Amino acid sequence: MIRSSLLIFSLADAILIRYKGVVSVEPTRPTDIPEAQFVLASASPRRRDLLAFLGPRYEVIASDAEERDDPVPSAVLTALPPFGLPRATHPSLLAWRKASHVAELAPGAVVLGADTIVVLGDVVLNKPRDPAHALQMLASLSGRVHTVYTGLCVIRKDEGGKMKDEAANDVLSVHPSSFILHPYQIWLDLVSSEVEIAPLSAGEIAAYVATGEPLDKAGAYGIQGLGGQLVRSVRGSYTAVVGLPLTNTHRLLRAAGVDNLRDPEQSYRRWLAQQGKEPLPWPPTLP
């Protein structure tokens, strides 16, 4: 469990919160974190929690860049993993927007961006506008299978255009979405998982919405919280549904030279135990 009570103080225009093993900075300027080595470009507490179980010390710089519509370099568009919905909703593109924005704020750091969307058929289910919208979303998901996509982007400063270690070469053999966009090396990935929601009565849906949990969650449910009780099965990566697929994240971070990473499967099991979800109520899923 990450604890945030150790130290809170003001630094220039930023508020710096030191966690146990984690440093969070938001918002910030490049001069605020010249020592940054590894940065998570996400304010999601769920991603922070999962990443902490992988072991590296990191800092957090939240970014709203996914809401912007700046031009995208052709190299990025070419490298995007296959995705059947409009490009503007591509989770890997949104992850790149976050990571590239933060990379400018933290020069020299390895930056990880992630974005998760929930898709039912060909409709993207974002965060509900209000409780009534959450009721509608959950009613549409009831008794059906939907897909959760999480896109990843890792960015590091290009050092002569050469991958430095064997881990990077391993990633290149599996992930063609690894490329140079001066002055950066960039890795992109996309993970999809199928989630089946149990048939829900109107009363069950209303009771869940009344907890308030669905209101800040894509698809109007949080699998790691009370919403997990609505889920009948997961096929694919469980942590991708939460927001950060541990196996894929581990692979890309190793390629980018991030050290002191724990085994993703063991990290997954420890995280499940902390969440009170071990053993799983359905067949074991991927980390």
CA distance 228 to 171: 32
Taking CB atoms within 8 Å and a gap of at least 24, the contacts of 262-270 are 262/53, 262/54, 262/55, 264/54, 267/50, 267/53, 267/54, 267/55, 268/53, 268/238, 268/239, 270/53
Backbone angles phi and psi of 93, in degrees to 5: -65, -45
Residue 117 Ramachandran class (φ > 0 left, ψ -120 to 50 alpha, else beta) = beta
Which residue intervals of 130-175 are DSSP H helices? 131-141, 166-174
CB of 35 within 8 A of CB of 11?
no
CA distance 53 to 2: 10
CA 124 to chain centre: 17
Is 164 in a helix, a strand, or coil? Answer: coil
Active site amino acids: 115
